[in-house]
């Protein structure tokens, strides 16, 4: 009984306070800042590749694309209709590098938002431009 009175006197428990703070932040449209390293991004993209490669054959073909007009098609460098693990890894890391505006090996939420507003195409070895995925 005494413990219940002491807890009641303290107000909301920490979980309730956290839930209320999350609700208030969401209501205000607040998204906490984030920082992603190139290494972490590469790991996330490797897991994404294996998730998309549903048949486990080491390539993502058109039947495994999330949708018909997927931006992933731009990663298919040799245009054979399949995205290999190498094409996927190199393409997504190049995308990360374009988002890393200050070239420090990390992408902050601010850099990501700036890139979304003004995406930069990727240069190719021949000097032509690959469309932004």
The pLDDT tens digits of the residues spanning 79-131 come to: 999 999 999 999 999 999 999 999 999 999 999 999 999 987 765 554 444 55
Q: Where do the structural domains in the chain lie, given as residue ranges?
A: 35-130
CB half-sphere exposure, 114, CA atoms < 13 A = 11
pLDDT tens string 40-62 = 999 999 999 999 999 999 999 98
**Helix/strand/coil (H, E, C) string of the chain?**
CHHHHHHHHHCCCHHHHHHHHHHHHHHCCCCCCCEEEHHHHHHHHHHHHHHHCCCCCCEEEHHHCCCCCCHHHHHCCCCCCEEEHHHHHHHHHHHHHHHCCCCCCEEEHHHHHHHHHCCCCEECCCCCEECCC
Candidates 1.10.3470, 1.10.260, 1.20.58, 1.10.238; CATH matching 35-130 = 1.10.238
Q: Looking at the whole model, is its pTM more than 0.75?
A: no
Length of the chain: 133
| Pair type for strands 106-108 and 122-123 | unpaired
């Amino acid at each position: 009984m005494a413990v219940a009175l002491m807890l009641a006197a303290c107000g909301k428990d920490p979980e309730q306070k956290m839930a209320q703070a999350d609700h208030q932040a969401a209501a205000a449209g607040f998204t906490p800042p984030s920082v992603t390293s190139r290494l972490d991004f590469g790991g996330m993209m490797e897991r994404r590749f294996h998730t998309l490669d549903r048949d486990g054959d080491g390539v993502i073909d058109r039947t495994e694309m999330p949708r018909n007009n997927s931006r992933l098609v731009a990663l298919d460098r040799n245009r054979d209709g399949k995205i290999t693990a190498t094409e996927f890894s190199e393409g997504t890391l190049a995308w990360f590098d374009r988002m890393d505006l200050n070239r420090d090996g990390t992408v902050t939420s601010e850099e990501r938002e700036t890139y979304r507003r003004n995406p930069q195409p990727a240069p190719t070895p021949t000097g032509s431009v690959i469309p932004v995925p």
